[in-house]
Amino acid sequence: MTQPTSKTLIVVAGPTAVGKTVAAIKLAQHYHTVVVSADSRQFFREMAIGTAKPNTQELVSVKHYFIDSHSITDSFSVGDFEKQGLALLDELFKTNDQVVLAGGSGLYIKAICEGFDDLPTADPAIREKLNQELEEKGIVHLQQELLLADPVYYNEVDLGNPQRIIRALEVFESSGKPFSSYRQATINKRPFNIIKLALNLPREVLYNRINDRVDLMAQQGLLAEVEALLPSRHLNALNTVGYAELFDYFDGKTSLEKAIEMIKQNTRRFAKRQLTWFRKDSSFHWFQASDRDVLDQMISTIDTIL
């Protein structure tokens, strides 16, 4: 019989711009612990403004892990994050009874909390064929293929990220089974307890915060950041909201004003997909980020479970 553990992972999730960073830092300070990021874009050193990383003061206030931990040139998958993240937690739990895991990337949170079935190895020819379809027919064509093959994943994935769409399609074509089915089968028991907290805001409030955040990014120098990354635009890490739209601007396909508006629109859509993902997990405890005592509510919930 396994002994019960006193080690607990406190997950802080929710849509982009809802206030996860501040909540995670305050919880980490309260429990005298650290924050592990589960934001799939904040790993990359070269992407700062467009990923809304914690600022210098926030990073100093509490020790953070998986912020600026990798380069966009590194091959770093969700499977890699699972292995490295679990190894890190094993070390952190030697000196901490609680650790905070914060981020909006549902797939990466799932990787740490549950893990995945082993995905089939795809035939390289299938990936080559799909990349050719992307080049010749465009991303909308692949999106429609994904909708037919795997409507569950279609409603969760960042549809602006061609590499994730191609990965799902190659798994489907290799195995005949939807990519989503591999993520829902086995839940791997972890050697620590897990408390899942999620923040939300009324839709209009959240969307206004997203719009204001994008305007602030523009003021902080997002355009210059993206311009510096133009030589690396082929890398998977840069196939993401906030960068792809500005690549179109530099290609002369759109105006700067339109590109900024598209970043806002695509970020709002992304937030909607994040909420869809987290709401499907009944183990989350939900909180209104706008409540004045939201931190007290979260701490009370944690302490009741601990």
Tell me the binding residues for ATP: 14-21
Q: What's the rounded Cα separation, in Å, for the pair 85 and 155?
A: 26
Instruction: Mark out the alpha helices in 15-161 (DSSP H runs).
Output: 20-30, 56-61, 78-92, 106-113, 124-137, 139-149, 151-154
The overall longest dimension of the chain from CA atoms, in Å, is 64
DSSP string computed for 83-99 = HHHHHHHHHHTTT-SEE
Q: What's the rounded Cα separation, in Å, for the pair 51 and 230?
A: 16
Radius of gyration of the chain (CA): 19
Q: What's the rounded Cα separation, in Å, for the pair 89 and 290?
A: 31
Tell me the binding residues: 14-21
Strand partners, 62: none
Tell me the binding residues for substrate: 16-21
